[in-house]
Structure 1
Amino acid sequence: MKPTTIFVSSIVAVFLGAVGVQFVPGATRADASGTAAAAPAATQPRQAATQPDATRVAAVLPATGPVAAPPAGEGPDVARPLETRPAVPAPRLSQVAPAPAPAPAPAAAPVQSAAPPAVALAGEFRNADAGHKGSGRVEIVKTEKGYEVRLAPGFATTRGPDLELWLVYHGDPRKQSDVTKSKYVSLGRLKSFTGEQTYAVPAGVDPTAFKSVVVWCEDFSVLFASAPLKAAR
């Protein structure tokens, strides 16, 4: 074989080795006629590798992280890194804001009790005569809303028609004329013949200027009972 032929064969062998084909020397020979005949097994393809080359796999794998098994149906040369997520760090104690302290309950405002009514004047009922009687205590009381005339629980008078309660200027009325000749203010119809009762004094009337309270029959102008007023003790 000529030197040129040997040099060309070497180059071809290197090229075929790079592409995966093994070159067998003597792949070509000259027959009796001087022409080159191809050998039956001049070239044989390299058997495909069934196992991945360690160098090639190392080039595919990432620098860190485990390798997941290849999915079904894919070749052994495929290597995928497992998906990893960075762990979330737990919050430090200094990063957790403390719960706000509950606001103190507002102090309850003191309950101010209303001042007791002031009793300005008071008196005791007495009989007008044997057929017209009355008994019990009466008071002139000053409240936040004004003056009131209050009959005590022990009040009682003789039953009669159209009885009213009057404030009278006379200091000690004992008969009908003592009332009719004096100035008076009617507080309205008597609510009951017995028991505790309250009557409002009309606005603009000063009850402390009057000197007695009487039970008066308006229909017949008859005095039933009278109570001279004095300063309350």
Structure 2
Amino acid sequence: MKPFKPLLLTATHLLSLAIGFAAGIYALPILIAPEAPTAQDVAAQASTAQWTATFRRDLKDSDALHWGEGQVSISAQAIALEGRLAPGPDYKLYLSPTFVETEADFNRLKPQMLRVGDVKTFDNFIVALPQGVDPAKFNTVIVWCESFNEFITAAQYR
């Protein structure tokens, strides 16, 4: 029985370390996120929107840890969300000419997409469009986790 004890202690300590590491990966983006734009800020941005769409939790590759919900507003200057995203690291906002809801489709169509910018908040966001970008050339807005190649959510606006 004595030789089993060091093995059991090692296994439980490694398991605790793995759980702590996973919790840290999940919690860090929440802890370092800047203050989210207020509902009034998002509403002001939405008032100039040319298109709106809805992020939904029920997309094919959305799951309990990778989802978005809320109203997305797209204007010539910015894309804004009044809603929420599942917390995560390294979220990027893309415009796509084709609606996608799976990681496989995203990776296949990524060369045709335009990376707009970083999403750093999880309750509401406003991401400015780079100068010269015409959202009318696209029809879908996508949130993608670049670090882990995870599909978060998408909404078709045209």
Q: Which range, TM-score by smaller chain?
A: 0.5 to 0.7
Q: 8 Å contact 2:92–2:116 — kept in the other structure? A: yes
Map of 1:225 onto structure 2: 153
Q: Does 1:120 align with 2:50?
A: yes
**Whose helix proportion is higher, 1 or 2?**
2
* Ranges in structure 1 where 5+ consecutive residues have no aligned partner: 1-115
Contact 1:164 1:216 in 2 (8 A): yes
How many corresponding residue pairs? Answer: 107
Runs of 4+ off more than 6 Å: none
Identical amino acids, percent of aligned pairs: 29
Equivalent residue for 1:193?
A: 122
> What does residue 102 of structure 2 align with?
175
TM-score (ref. length: structure 1): 0.43
Determine the structure 1 residue equivalent to 2:70: 136
1:190 Cα shift?
0.9
Can you list the C-alpha shifts for 1:174-199, whole angstroms capped at 9, x where unaligned?
Answer: 1012212222112222120112x222
Q: Distance in 2 between matches of 1:207 and 1:214?
A: 13
Q: Deviations over 1:54-102 (max 9, x none)?
A: xxxxxxxxxxxxxxxxxxxxxxxxxxxxxxxxxxxxxxxxxxxxxxxxx
Specify every segment of 5 or more residues in structure 2 that has no aligned partner in the other structure, as ranges.
1-45
Amino acid at match of 1:188: G
Q: How does 1:33-72 map to 2 (within 5 A)?
A: none
8 A contact 1:170–1:179 mirrored in 2: no
Q: Using the alignment, how far apart are the partners of 1:130 and 1:224 within structure 2?
A: 8
Superposed CA RMSD? 1.8
Name the CA shift for 1:118/1:189 in 2 (closer, same or farther; >3 Å): closer
Which structure has the greater CA radius of gyration? 1
C-alpha change, 1:206 and 1:193, in structure 2 (3 Å) is: same
SS of the aligned residue for 1:219 comes to: coil
How far 1:224 moved relative to its partner? Answer: 0.7
CA distance, structure 2, for counterparts of residue 117 and residue 130 of structure 1: 31
Aligned residue runs from structure 1 range 151-162, under 5 A: 151-152=81-82, 155-162=83-90
2:29 corresponds to: none
Q: Give 1:177's aligned amino acid.
A: A
State the SS of the aligned residue for 1:119. Answer: coil
CA distance in 2, matches of 1:184, 1:168: 5
- Structure 2 distance, partners of 1:141, 1:151, is 12
